[in-house]
Structures are given as structure tokens and as C-alpha cells.
Structure 1
Amino acid sequence: MFVVNLFCATTVFAQTVLFHNVNGYTLTGQPGNEAQLQQFSAMLVRDGRIAAIGSVSSIRGSFDFEIDEEVSLNNKTVLPGIIDAHGHVLGLGLNLMEVDLRTATSEADAVARVREFAEQNPNADWIVGRGWNQENWESRSFPTANSLDEAIPDRPVYLTRVDGHAAWVNSIALSRATISGATVSPDGGDILRDERGNPSGVLVDNAMYLVEQVMPKASRELQTQAIELAFQHLLERGITGVHDAGIDALNLDIYKSLADNNKMPVRVYAMLGANEPTLPQLLAQGPYTRSDERLTVRSVKIYADGALGSRGAALLEPYHDAPDQRGLLVTSPDQLHDLYQLVIPHGFQVNTHAIGDRANRLALDEFARAYATVGGRNLRHRIEHAQVVHPDDLARFKELNIIASMQPTHATSDKNMAEDRLGKERMQGAYAWNTLLEQGTIIAAGSDFPVELADPFFGLHAAVTRQDRDNQPEGGWYVHESMTIVEALRSFTLDAAYASGQEQTLGSLEPGKWADFIVLDADPFVGDSTTLWDQKVLATYVAGETVFQR
């Protein structure tokens, strides 16, 4: 038996390891409001699972088997591994390889970045990027193809908005997709037009597919590379598990191959995309999970509407800042009904993207109809985002046993435009975390990366303060809907595990569960909440093994 100082040497783990000098926190007990926060100073890991937490003396007094190794964590803070309950792994990996426009300050700035990327990648057939947000520009106007045409006149350009629900393209891309002034916007989509009726260069929701279908598809090799790149990015930020919100058959096959070859350092709870052509066949195969729980598939992601920033979120009443628009239903009510009826009898959880109050109401109505026809109330169905909910519908989440899968940084990113889109009166049911928690609804928190940055401490900070990382606005934005630090941590750990049906083995550092945990440079429960976002992950462990170390 010997002692290893984690921060001075690389540790190779034996079968039974005692971690001591730990400033540990974990939720214990049942998910939801009854869970309790427990502190501990030592942790025993045996065969990749937690055997005990407590003090060194209590652990030594309770077990008679030999401890193979002792590891001092130098009184650093330990938390359960973070579970991001809504992200897009392949999208994140590809985004890390493309031009990033998240911090662009204007259309001209974005174009300059695209031009620079194009010059650095002369052999790229298409210039692809993501992250622009016109709401962060002084003009607050959608960009146009004209500016891209001047900068990149010889290659098609396709740039996804930060929310993934609109694309900015140049004229070559429009031409490749044969989009002209005579092209009719598809159902659930919108081709924005200039004053002459010609395409302006911005495509919303289903209109994006007109260009996407003529773009070259990422090869299996490139997708695998992107996924592995994303895994490392997540581990560096303390994320040990992710609920991947919508994958196709190829993505699933890549995951299975990686898992079979022990190349899944992050646990993935994958949602099959409802638009996958082979969905009926995949459902017929039944839920899939591995004994090591590195990959689990027993849910389906359905898009009901678009996003608020691009005015694609489906609203019951017109947009406050665009009285002629009510948003878009990406999936028609009839299709939504048919999908619920298809998916639930196979024992799969339904996870419906719904941002606007109309989309949320439709999703709730369909859950109620499904319970009355095909059952499935016990499958822990979810509404992804649940951003704008009519006040009359909030209680239905509890009544229908629906999990609210929400992303705290969406509120702090949207605060500069949400009131413009909705008007103050309709903000009552928007980003209503505390209201949902108080009625006993489970909130599973995530980031929606790459829409938002993947760092979970940005999400914890937003949940507690309702402020951005500049701590604006002063006092918080609709701060009465904030979470406590315990509620926020729970939503990223134990309650996220509940949302995937894995709370018996994941989400907390309790005996019998997998030893997925992170080591931090500071204690998030001590000090000013305004600095919560500025946490550094020193090490990440999955099943007791080091998968990242700073």
C-alpha cells in the first residue's frame, strides 16, 4: 500500500482505491426536492464503483478487504461528474473544426472571420461555420448574402446561427440549392427575402434543408474524428455524461464501434432523431444499453418548433416585435401525434424540442393523448428546452409526469431579446425554473452545446444568479426564477441521471454507483456566487479512472 499525490504524479489505478483529503459534496437519496446534500472527506472506489463515502476512519472501520492504493486529493473539492442533459456531440466536434462566429460583433466582423478561414482552408469545397447572432450586433438585423458574396465569391458558404435554427448563405450556395425568388418556403421553414422578394441569404428551420441536402456529407472518418474531439473537450470541462439530443443511424453505429473498442470515455445517453429514415426499424430492435453504461439508447428526439432568436419558436399569440409572425411548427400536429403513437409502444422515452408556448402546449396535449391510448406514463418523457410556457400549462408538467430538460445559459443569452420577442406580460412562464421546481417537477439541466458553450459551470452560474458572466444585469434577470446552488448542482447530476432512467447507477457518489467524479480548484459552495462560472477542472474520472488531468 502506498500514497500517490494526484497533482504531482500520474496515477495508475488498482482495484481498490481510497481517496482521502477530499472536500467532497454529493446529492444523496431520491432525485428531486427530497434529495440531500452530503459532505465527505474520503471516498472508497472498488472495481470502478463507489464502495463508501465518509471519513477515513469510518471507511477503514467498515471494510475488512485490502486497500490497494491511497490517493490524496490535497483537500481539493470533489463533485459527481457533470451530466449535460442536452447536447450535440457530433455538432460540437464539427463546430470545433469550423469557423466560429460566436464572438463576432457585427456582420462585417463575421464576414472578416469567414474570409480569413477561407484563406486558411483553400482546398475546402464549402466554407462552413456556426455561431452568428444578430441580436449581439448593433444593427440587430439579419445578415445578407451580399456581404458574403463580396468576401467569398468563388465557393459556397453555409453559416448556422448560434441556435442552429437558421442559416446564412451566399449566392453560390443559394444557386447550388436552386433557391430563387420563385421558390416557395417549405412547411415549417422560411426563406427570408429582400424588398424585391428575392432570397436575402437567411434560411430558417426547415428551409435550411434545401441547402443542406446539396452539401457534401461528412464522411464516417471525419465524424468519428469530430466525436473523439468533442469527448476530450467535454472531459476537460468536467462532463462525464451527455444526453445526445438527436442522432442518426450512422452516428449510432459510430458510437457502438467506439464503445466496442473501449473508446467511449464519456457516457452517452443517445436520443434517436425522429427524422431518421430507419427509425421504425431501430425502434423494433428495442432499447439498447451496455453493461458498462458507456452507451444507452432508449429515447427519441422530436422537433416541435424552432427557436426564439430566429422567430421560429411557435407562439400562441403573435411575436411582440413582429405582429405578422407566430413562429414555425417544424413537425406538424398530425406528424407529432403519429410519432408519439409510434415511439411509446416500443418502450422509448419521447423527448420533444419545444421552445414556444404553442409548441409546449401541443407537446403536453400529445402526451395526454398518448397516455389515454398507448400508455407510457412511466417512461419519464421530457420536453427539451420548455423555454416559453403559458402559465396555464406549467402545472401540467407535474400532472403529466413530464421532465423539463432546460438549459440555464439560454436565459442569460436570450435576456437581450426575449422581452422584445414576447413582451413583458408573456415572460411570466418563460425560463420558469423555480416555478417548476417548487411544484415538484424534475429539471434536467444541460447546455445545448454547441448552441451554448459546453462549460457546465457557466450553466451553474446562470442558474443561481440569472446573470451573464459579466454579472449583468445587476441583481439578476427575473431573479425570482433562479435556483439555489444545491438545486442547480442536482439538475446537472442526480436529476439529469433520473431523466435518463439511470439514477440508480449515476448522478451521485453513493455506494454502488459508478465512480464518476471531478476535482476542482475551488469550492463552489463557498464564496461569491458571481464567480461560480470561473471554476477550473483539475481532473476528471470515469469509473474510477483518470480520463483528464490538468
Structure 2
Amino acid sequence: MDTAYVNGKIYTVNSAQPWAQAILVEAGMIKAVGTDDEVRQRLSKDAQVVDLEGRLVMPGIHDAHLHLLFSGLKFKFEPHLSPGGNQRRAIEDIKSCNCSGPGDGAGNTWILGGDFFPPDFGPEGVNKAFLDEAFPDQPVFLYDYTIHHGLANSKALELAGITEDITDPPGGRYIRDETTGTLTGEMVEHARWPVLRAIPDYAAAINADAIAWAISVCHKFGITSVQEASASPQALKAFKALEDADALKIHIAAHLVWRDEGFGMAKLDVLESTIESRADWASKHVDTNFVKVWLDGAPLPPHFTQADLAEDGTVDESNILVPQDEFLSRLTEFDAAGLTVKIHCAGEGSTKRALDTIALVRQTNGPDGPRHEIAHAGFIDANDYGRLEKNNVVAEMSPAIWHVPEYGLMDYYHFSTVLKHQAHMTVGSDWIITPDPNLFPALQGMLQHGAESIDLDTAIEAMTLSGARAVNQDKRRGSLEVGKSADFIVLDRDIFTLDTSDIGSTEVLRTVFEGETVFLREEHPKATLGRTS
């Protein structure tokens, strides 16, 4: 049965036909885009008609960077620590959650949660002592607000085999008490890996439930296509289970984790084999031709694990997480295999290293390989902007918190500069860092970013068609055109005519994915039958 959406103000993101009144959908695809009369003339006798009541319609949003499984587990199944809470409040939050973490079959049920902000713990600092007192016999792991570091109690350290004589691993550090020299339980970057290895997996049904919930949240905010930035083996299994049940109502570019046991939720050899067997996890809605690598850490206090530039302009190697010879070798292999690589870069040094390495890969494999990405592209040396377009590299802007002064990112994320250098730019929420994947506040922020502001048309394209292009799907989605997937959203306001300051509070009334309404607010009209409105 075909469905017509009429009497709308439809922004198509198609330069050949930017605006329309109506869309005709059949079998999940767009069959016609035009005026009400043009669409009504093509209706079948039993067609459905939805009166849009003059509402603004636009393509479904593409979130270029989020973490479906992590976010689903964090916000649905794990204790969430109160912002500004001290140790006592953290214990109260954990105990009041009534959450049950994964069990290891040997009588140990883990408590997993977060996220804590180290200064909130006061003069006592980040130390496992308060967790040991409250949970002497139960393993506890709390991740901090960057998600790059964590705190484990003594029981968790014991199960992980971590003793006082442990040495710091490459790319990580164990924090010790300044007076006694003993382990505080706080672990930085790769030092988390032994504890994370010891944590058992959640049940497969929990993982699938977490992802299904996360997808429903995406629908609420108009997101129909995502780049999963940490596609662990557990996430891939859950995607497959949902796909087999015809319950995966979102397009996923699954970035398979390489060389990071923390974000990959598996040992390095398992991550390697998952990349090798990537075709086994691909499906109608899951594309597995993507890889994710973390080149450095996080540019946030108190640990500051990003890779910056030295005074002489060279890369400060102290926080680079992947040896250059290994990085170059594997990036060359991934590129030759046609895999797009998203490279986490949180400093100007790591961005320069990534661009240098991609340039070498282009010399070896030729200039026409896959389009690679710099994730979190707010940290780019002035001399490197021109290298993005030259080497066919996407500037992926996330996390989408540049509009929040408290995060201190107002001077970063140079939207206008990136586009003036003809670079390909996408937008991501980095949901797990953010409380939800709502990109409308970020959209407003792109328009109110001082000298780096961009216009509304350009910002919307970055959130739609540009995202589809980044995952090689711009021929199938990202704009509202005949022959493309019927993925679109209906908004509660006309963001083209209202004051810019009101864009951030925009709400989605209806989300349509492949012609199916997957989210509908109660106040939005439902379909009627017949050829008349």
C-alpha cells in the first residue's frame, strides 16, 4: 500500500528540487516528490494519506558518531552517578539503582556504572577505599566522565590479577597514592584493559534490549542513520539478533574496533578476527566495511591524554596510542581492502599524525581509496585544514556539545574554516558522552558560533546528505528524492522562519524509516484512508 504525505513544507536537501509539498511512499521507497496535486494524481484507490498540516519535513538525521550498545547499557541498565555527587552520593546512587550487572558464573556479580567527575570526589580524591567499604566482596568498576579512564575497587582488581607490583602498560597508567605509593584503583586509558577483560559479558538478551532501546531514543530525535563508533563483537551479535527479528529500524555503519580492548569489549585477537569475518555480520541494515581506531585519548582534566603538537610543530609522541609503523601498515591494508577508517583524534598532534599517515597510504595505494575520517575534528592545526580535502578525509564533528559553554569547546570546532577549505564535514552526537543524541541544540550551535558559524542549509546538509555520503550511501538516502529510502522527519516548528535561538528546542513529531512510522508524538495526526484529505 502506498502512502502520501501531503500539505507539508518539505525541505528535500536536493539542490535540483529543494522544496516540495508532498511525498509519495511505496514499499519503503520514495515514489514521487512534488506538489499536492502531482502526488494525489498518483495515489491508488486504497492509499493512505497523511495531512502534514503545513509542518516542516526534512530528511532523517544521520548521526556520524555514537555508541548504541554503550549508551543503551549506561542509561537503561547501569547506575548513573549524580552530577556533582561526592563519594557518599555515588554509593547512594549505586545502591538505589536496583541494577544487576553481569555475573561470571563463580558467584561474582559485577557493579558497572558511571560517570564520575574526579574533582567532585573532593579532597579525598579518586580512591577505591569508599567502594571497598561499601562493597568489600563485590567487584565494582566505574568509568569516568571521559569514558577513557575508570576506577575499580579491590575485589575488581583481584579478579583482574592486578597487584601492587604491576607496571604501567604502553598507552596507560595506574594512579598511585602520592604518600604511600599504593594503587588508588584509578586507571588511565589502556591500564583499564585487565579489569575490562575480567568483566563478563551481559546476557545477549540484555545487549539486544539495550540497543533496541537506544534505537528508539534515536527515533525520538529524528535519527534514522548512524555511524556506530564502537561496533564490538557483542554489538554485532545484538544487531544480528534484532535484524533476524525484523526489529532493526535504523541504518548502521558499524565501525569495527581495532586495537582497543576497552571500547572493543574483547581481546585484541578477537577484534582482529571480527574484522576478518566482517562479512558474516553484514545485513540489510548493517554495513561492516568500517574500522575504528583510537590514536590518542581525551583532552579533558585531570589526565589530559590527547596528543598535542610540540613547540617545534612535531607530534608529541607521549600520548600516541598506536606505534606508527603498525598504524601505517594496518591503515594501508584497510585502505586496500576498501575499508573506511574512522580515526579518533583528540589533539592537534594526533590529527597531524593521522593526516600524515593517510597521505602515505594514498601514495602507496593511489588517491581513489575509501574516504577516511578524523573523529572529533575540533583539534586541527591551522596548516592542516587544507590537507583534509587533498587527501579525501572527512572532518567528523563530535561530540555535539560545542554550544555548551561549560564544556570549554567554544573556541574549537571550526565549521566555517573546514568548509572554506572544501573539506567534507559531518556531525555526530558522540552519544554516551552526551545525555542523549539530540542534534537540534547542536544545529543551533553551528549557526551561533561566532566567526565559525555556518548557514542553516549547510548545517542541515552536514546532518543528512553529507553523512550519507560519508558512509557511501548518498545514492540511497540523505535527501528526499525519487528512488531513495523513505527516511524523513516531521518537526514541530519551521526552523527556517523562526528565531535562531529557538532551533535548539525543536521536537520531532514523526519519524519515518523506510516508509514506516517508527516514532509518533500523540499530537501528530495519523493516516487516513482514501484519495481525499
Separation in 1 of the partners of 2:281 and 2:51?
34
Q: 1:277 aligns with which of 269, 276, 294?
A: 269
Matched, 1:488 2:459: yes
Which residue does the alignment assign to 1:313?
Answer: 306
Change (3 A) 1:414 1:143: farther
The answer to whether residue 384 in structure 2 is matched with residue 393 in structure 1 is: yes
Task: Tell me which residue corresponds to 2:34.
Answer: 54
Partner of 2:531: none
- 1:498 maps to 469
Which residue pairs with 1:255 in the alignment? 239
- Report what 1:438 is aligned to: 420
Corresponding residue to 1:226 among 201, 204, 210: 210
Structure-2 change in CA distance of 1:289 and 1:197 (3 Å): closer
Q: Secondary structure at the match of 2:349?
A: helix
Quick check: 2:378–2:397 contact (8 Å CA) kept in 1? yes
Q: Is the 8 A contact 1:118 1:127 kept in 2?
A: no
Cα drift, residue 356 of structure 1: 1.1
Question: 1:136-535 maps to which residues of 2 (within 5 A)?
Answer: 137=120, 143-195=126-178, 196-275=180-259, 277-278=269-270, 293-309=284-300, 310-317=303-310, 328-375=319-366, 377-407=368-398, 409-412=400-403, 416-417=407-408, 430-452=412-434, 453-466=436-449, 479-535=450-506
Deviates more, 1:112-121 or 1:221-230: 112-121
Q: Give distance in 1, aligned partners of 2:124 and 2:381.
A: 28
Equivalent residue, structure 1, for 2:14: 28
Taking the aligned partners of 2:10 and 2:426, their CA distance within structure 1 comes to: 22
For 1:449 and 1:107, locate their aligned partners in 2 and report how far apart those are by CA, in whole Å.
25
Q: Is the 8 A contact 1:286 1:347 kept in 2?
A: no
Cα distance in 2 for partners of 1:517, 1:212 equals 39
Q: Which runs of no fewer than 5 residues in structure 2 stay unpaired?
A: 260-267, 522-533
1:242 deviation in Å?
1.0
Change (3 A) 1:140 1:232: farther
Aligned 8 A contact 1:104 1:110 in 2:
no
Match of 2:59 in 1: 80
Alignment correspondent of 1:93:
72
Residues 1:85 and 1:465: Cα distance change in structure 2 (over 3 Å):
same
| Alpha-carbon distance, 1:86 to partner | 0.7
Q: How far off is 1:226 after superposition?
A: 1.5
Residue 497 of structure 2 aligns with an amino acid whose one-letter code is: V
Q: CA deviation at 1:151?
A: 3.7
User: Could you tell me how far 1:359 is from its partner in structure 2?
Assistant: 1.0
Q: Distance in 2 between matches of 1:444 and 1:41?
A: 27
Task: Give how far 1:138 is off.
Answer: 9.5
- Counterpart of 1:527, as a letter, is L
Question: 1:464, 1:482 within 8 Å by CA — same for their partners in 2?
Answer: yes
In structure 1, give the amino acid aligned to 2:26: R
Quick one: which amino acid aligns to residue 248 of structure 1? S
C-alpha distance 244-408 of structure 1, shift in aligned 2 (>3 A): closer
What is the distance in 2 between the residues matched to 1:449 and 1:397?
25
Output the CA distance in 2 between the equivalents of 1:486 and 1:493: 11
For the structure 1 residues 487 and 141, does the alpha-carbon distance in structure 2 shift closer, same or farther, using more than 3 Å as the test? farther
**Could you tell me how far 1:65 is from its partner in structure 2?**
6.4
Taking the aligned partners of 2:437 and 2:470, their CA distance within structure 1 comes to: 19
Taking the aligned partners of 1:308 and 1:482, their CA distance within structure 2 comes to 23
For 2:416, the aligned partner's letter is N
Equivalent in 34, 37, 49 of residue 70 of structure 1: 49
Q: Tell me: CA distance 1:161–1:253, structure 2 relative to 1, closer, same or farther (3 Å).
A: same
Instruction: Calculate the aligned-residue CA RMSD, in Å.
Output: 2.9
Deviations, residues 402-449 of structure 1 (Å, cap 9, x unaligned):
001112524345754569xxxxxxx6xx32222101211111111111
Query: Matches of 1:140 and 1:371 in 2, distance apart?
Result: 51
Identity %: 29
- Equivalent-residue separation in structure 2 for 1:490 and 1:167 (angstroms): 37
CA distance in 1, matches of 2:144, 2:512: 34
CA apart distance, 1:495? 0.5
- Once residues 462 and 142 of structure 1 are traced to their aligned partners in structure 2, the CA distance between those partners, rounded to angstroms, is 34
- For the 8 Å contact 1:267–1:294, the answer to whether it is kept is yes
Aligned to 1:112, what secondary structure does the other structure show?
A: helix
For 2:118 and 2:252, locate their aligned partners in 1 and report how far apart those are by CA, in whole Å: 33
SS of equivalent to 1:113: helix
CA spacing shift, 1:197–1:524, aligned 2, 3 Å: farther
Contact 2:258 2:272 in 1 (8 A): no
Query: Structure 2: which amino acid aligns with 1:459?
Result: A
Amino acid at match of 1:311: F
- Secondary structure of residue in 1 paired with 2:512: strand
Give yes or no for contact 1:283–1:346 (8 Å, CA) kept in 2.
Answer: no
CA drift of 1:327 comes to: 5.8
Equivalent position SS for 1:366:
helix
Q: Secondary structure at the match of 1:411?
A: coil
Alignment length (residue pairs): 500
> What SS does structure 1 have at the residue aligned with 2:321?
coil
Q: How far apart are residue 342 of structure 1 and its match? A: 2.3
Aligned residue in 1 for 2:18 = 38
Q: Is the 8 A contact 1:287 1:348 kept in 2?
A: no
Kept in 1: contact 2:146–2:298 (CA 8 A): yes
**Helix, strand or coil: the match of 1:395?**
helix
Q: Deviations over 1:476-523 (max 9, x none)?
A: xxx322333222221111111011000111111111110101122222
Measured in 2, the distance between the counterparts of 1:125 and 1:243 equals 32
Aligned mates of 2:60, 2:125 — CA distance in 1? 39
1:372 deviates by: 1.3
Q: Report the alpha carbon displacement of residue 28 of structure 1 after superposing the two structures with TM.
A: 1.1
Work out whether residues 407 and 446 of structure 1, in 8 Å CA contact, stay in contact via their aligned partners in 2: yes
CA shift at 1:525, angstroms? 2.2
Aligned partner of 2:514: which letter?
A
Measure, in 1, the Cα distance between the counterparts of 2:185 and 2:275: 38
CA contact (8 A) 1:408 1:462 kept: no
Aligned with 2:305: secondary structure? Answer: coil
Contact 2:399 2:431 in 1 (8 A): no
Shift of 1:302: 1.0
SS at match of 1:175: helix
- Once residues 61 and 18 of structure 2 are traced to their aligned partners in structure 1, the CA distance between those partners, rounded to angstroms, is 17
